[in-house]
Structure formats: structure tokens, C-alpha cells
Amino acid sequence: MSSLVESFARHLTRIDVAAAALFVVLLASIVSRRASSRRVKTTKLNGPKGKNPIVGLFPTLLRSENPAALIEGWVKEFGPVFSLPMGLGRTNVTITDVKAASHFLARDTGVYHQTGLAKIFIENLFGRGLLWAEEDDHRRQRKALTPAFSVSATRSYLSVFYDSAYKIKSNWETLLDNGSRMVEVQSWMNHASLDDLGIAGFGHDFGALDGKDPEVIKIFEAFERPESSGWVSKVLFILGPAFPILQRLPARHNRTMKRIKSSMAAVADMILVPSGRKGSGAADADQAKSIDKSIMGLLVKAETASNGLSMSEEEVLAQNTLLFAGYETTSISLTWALIELSRHQDKQTALREEFAQFEGRDPTWEELSGLPYLNSITQEVLRLHPPLPNINRTATEDDVIPLSNPITTAAGETTTQLVVAKGTTVACPIAFINQSEELWGPDAKEFKPERWIEGADGKDGIGAGAKAIQGYHHLLTFSDGPRLCLGRNFAIGNFKATLSVLIRNFSFELPDGVVTKIGSHRGILARPKLEGQNGPKVPLIVKRIE
């Protein structure tokens, strides 16, 4: 017998050993889960079945190009609250009921925390900043950050947004003069967002719109490529919800995240250098002044506050999440705006006509905020194309979630509330809620900015169902509750200023007209792409407005 074992052992590869070890860990986890008994049980719900007992429907959700459509099919079959198998005996609860969603989001950072996978992912990429923090730490950091993201603070960055937009204009005019007909707009939105966040956020100009090739954008773009993750990384990520600790292994995607974190930290670290450099020359003085006015500069002041809200150096550096969050979300939203306006030429013309009143000058912050059609375009893009389609949290204690309407459980019982046991993961699919026909009407999936504009009777086209949503303009794009996006004013101001310059100076068309197919490119966040393009590329026909 021993010789057979020795012979078998000699033929084992490292992969065999790793697979066996992983199997033992999985088995131990299942046994542990089944052995544990809890007094409170999550309400048993109906829902789709997973074909794979190890990973459940997690890969299906990851691969979906249209998560809202996927959720819509399940809502039609199982109702507004249902369960999703995530493998290894784990079941997530998905809530699309507005009353339930409001309760859930209101208790974020308290009863509900980031999932174990998200916590490690965020820490690996950004550190222990606002996005990572919970409860008292979250409240303290958010309170310290709030002044830097106020409307008055954000208004001061408008000139930064316009400067970047005019750099895009200059570059595009050069391309058109040289005979180009198509412009790949998404890469330009990326560069503008990076420069805006660099200057306004850190007092640092990355120079992406000036032709520089900063290391941080190389790393961001590398992370967007599928080949940046080997098969080991993909397997570890698929198993991540069950075993978050696997995300600490030195797989390729984890090494890439650490490169992003180091690159952003290097920029943020410059702000923590003693301010004595201000007197060392004109250039240094200008840079120091720019840093003082930046978001991170304001955070350094908060670090030395004596009101109990100060942040450690590690926490200040970890707020570099704003660079990534702003870079990704603003560029995605601007790209979608140009796509939708290319699809709907009449709406593009209407927006351009609204800007005609500002001949020879740029709108002020107050004027941008007071333009009805620009506001409606902004809100409709945010409604149909939220950069983050889903919010997942894990209950840290037992909870009871109220429902708008009664549901029938898997046991055939009728209930008006949902019991959630400690340790249960709850998902709120904001992309679906933002375009639910039950809430927004039969035209919910259409790009219809006019729904936001009040008529002569003082009423808009937003139904009572949608108005029950408590988020920003009845949207959950910026989340809600304690985690309501702190940078929403910054993002919206950036979006409006950039779009105002582009629409006043250029017209946009899709390469094949309205039949042009738009796909989805999977990176950290889903980005639009024209079908047939290699990577997240959106080439549009761009013409100068004479």
C-alpha cells in the first residue's frame, strides 16, 4: 500500500497539490457552514437555480453585458425580492422593492458592510480610505472630507474642467485639419478625466491631454485588458465571494492593483511633503498654491484639525480613491452622453441651441446648473448608464427589511417583510431600478431627457413610483444613505462643463447611424464599446461646428 501511495505521490504536479488543498479548504468550509446553526434564518425566497454548485450564478452576473436585463428576467419570474445561489451553499438576497432598497441603503456602513471580497479588493487597490471604512471610521472620514466636496469648493474647479475641455477641442481640430473623420472619443474622455482629477484632486497635472504618457494611465489601461489576468487570477476571483482571503495571494491581477495603488500614492504623497518648499522658487510656489486649493490639500488641513475629525497620514493617502472613482465614472458617463446624443440628433441639436445664449463665453457654475435641457440630459445619462450597476453588502447583524407590497416566500407564505440573518449578502441592482418600467413607465428604457422637464402645468414626466426613490433626483446612481457619493457635485460639474464645450464646437454621429451596435467591455467597471472594436473604443464621426 505504501509503495502505491509513494508512486502516486511522485506523479502529482504542483497544480494537483494546489487543487487538492483547495478542495480540502472548500470541503471544510461547507462542513463548517452546515454544522453551524442560527436562531434567526433569512426568509426563504424563490429564485433561479445555479448549475454549478461551486460558483453558483456569480460568473453569470460577472459576464453579463446587460445586468439590468438579466435582473429584469428574474423579477418577472420570481418577483421584486428573490434569492441567487452563489455556490458552496451561499445564497444572496436581491431586492428591487423601493421601500426595501431605501431601508437597506439607509443602514449602509452600520448594519450592512462591504462584502469580504470588496473589502480586500478596495484595500489592495486604494488602502483604508472612505470607500473601505465602516461605522465610526466612515463617519469620521466623511465628516473630514465633506468641506472639500461642497458646492462652493467644487465651483472653484470649474476653470480646471474648462481648460481640459478646450485642450480636447484643440486636439480634435488638429485631427480634423489633418483629414481625420473619426475620433475615438473614449480615450479622450479618459485623458480629460485624469487631468481634471490630477489638478483639482491633487494639485498635480498628469499632462495626458498634452501628449504625456503618465505611468498611472498605462496601469489603468493595462488593468482594463482581459489578458492582464491569467487563469489563476480568474479562478481566484470567481472563488472570491466564498473565500475573500484568496485575493491576498500574489496573483497577476493583485500585483497590477498594487502597481495602481503605488502609482497613485506616489502622487498623493507629494502633498504630505512639508510645505516649506513654497519659498524655493516661482514654479514651486505656484505648485504649492495649486496643492493648497486641491481636494487632497484640504484633507491635509483636516489631518491637523483639533476637533477629533483628523485623519492619519495613511487615511489621507487612501483617499486616492477619488482619483480612480472620478477617472472611471466621469469618463464613462461622458462617453455614454456622446453616444446617446449621436443616436438622437434632435436632442443633440436641442442641447446645442440651449447653449447658443452663451455666444463667445462659457457658462458660469450657476448658469450650468440652471439649464433645463442640460440638466435633463445629465440626469437621463445617469439614469440609463450608471457606471456601477449593483450594490452588494453583507449584514453584520440580523435585520428585518420592510417591503412595499406583500410577497410569497418559497414556503408559500405571504409576508410584508424580509428577515435577513447576520452574514447574509444583500444586493441592490441600481441599474435595473433606474430603468424599471414599473417605476418609470413603458418608455423606461428609452433615452428621453424630456421626462425631466416640467410642463406648463408644473409637472414633469416622472411617475409616482420613481419619485418614491430617495436618491439624487430619484436615482440610485450615486447610491443613497451614509454612502451617498461625496463627489457627486464634482462629477456633475465636470460632466456639464466638458459636454458644454464639446457640443458647442462639434457635432457627433455614429459610424453606421442609429443601427450602430454598442457593446460592453469588461474592466473594473463596464465601459461602452462599438461592436467589432478591440477593447473599449468608441469611434464617432466628429465635425466642426462652423
DSSP letters for 19-39? HHHHHHHHHHHHHHHHH---S
Backbone angles phi, psi at 364, to 5 degrees: -75, 175
Residue of 294, 312, 293, 290 whose CA lies nearest to 302: 312
**3-class DSSP state for residue 13?**
coil
* Structural element, H or E, at residue 84: strand 81-87
Number of helices and strands in the chain (H, E): 24, 12
Residue of 478, 532, 494 whose CA lies nearest to 198: 494
Show pLDDT as tens, one digit a residue, over the chain (546 residues): 433 333 333 343 444 434 444 554 555 455 445 444 456 799 999 999 987 777 788 778 877 888 899 999 999 999 999 999 887 778 899 999 999 999 999 998 889 999 887 887 778 777 788 888 898 988 988 888 888 888 888 899 999 999 999 999 999 999 999 999 999 999 999 999 989 988 888 788 889 999 887 777 776 666 666 544 554 445 555 555 555 556 656 556 666 666 666 766 666 666 555 433 333 444 466 666 666 677 777 777 665 554 555 566 667 767 766 666 677 899 999 999 999 999 999 999 999 999 999 988 999 999 999 999 999 999 999 999 999 999 999 999 999 999 999 999 999 999 999 999 999 999 999 999 999 999 999 999 999 999 999 887 778 889 888 999 988 899 999 999 999 998 899 999 999 999 999 999 999 999 999 999 999 887 778 899 998 888 889 999 999 998
Residue holding cell 474642467?
Answer: 161
Q: Annotation-wise, does 485 bind a ligand?
A: yes
Cβ atoms of 397 and 376 within 8 Å: the answer is: no
Backbone angles phi, psi at 92, to 5 degrees: -90, 150
**What pLDDT is stored for residue 273 in this prediction?**
54
Cβ atoms of 92 and 84 within 8 Å: the answer is: yes
Which of 486-489's residues contact partners 24+ apart within 8 Å by CB, and which partners?
Answer: 486/130, 486/142, 486/145, 486/146, 486/149, 487/149, 487/322, 487/325, 487/326, 489/149, 489/150, 489/151, 489/154
The rounded distance, in Å, linking the Cα atoms of 8 and 487 is 59
**What pLDDT is stored for residue 142 in this prediction?**
87
**What pLDDT is stored for residue 236 in this prediction?**
52
The rounded distance, in Å, linking the Cα atoms of 259 and 248 is 14
Backbone angles phi, psi at 223, to 5 degrees: -70, -25
Torsion-angle region of residue 437: left (phi > 0), alpha (psi -120 to 50) or beta? alpha
**What pLDDT is stored for residue 282 in this prediction?**
41
**What pLDDT is stored for residue 242 in this prediction?**
53
**What pLDDT is stored for residue 275 in this prediction?**
35
Cβ atoms of 407 and 414 within 8 Å: the answer is: yes
The rounded distance, in Å, linking the Cα atoms of 398 and 418 is 11
pTM tops 0.75, yes or no: yes
The rounded distance, in Å, linking the Cα atoms of 52 and 59 is 10
Residues in the chain: 546
**3-class DSSP state for residue 182?**
strand
Q: Give the three cell numbers for residue 496.
A: 456639464
**What pLDDT is stored for residue 4 in this prediction?**
30
* Structural element, H or E, at residue 291: helix 282-293
Integer-rounded Cα Rg, in Å, for the chain is 25
Q: Which residues of 474-513 are buried (b: 16+ CB within 10 A; e: fewer)?
A: bbbbbbbbbbbbbbbbbbbbbbbbbbbbbbbbbbbbbeee
What sign does the dihedral 491-497-498-503 (CA atoms) show?
positive
Residue of 465, 475, 435 whose CA lies nearest to 105: 475
Backbone angles phi, psi at 129, to 5 degrees: -95, -160
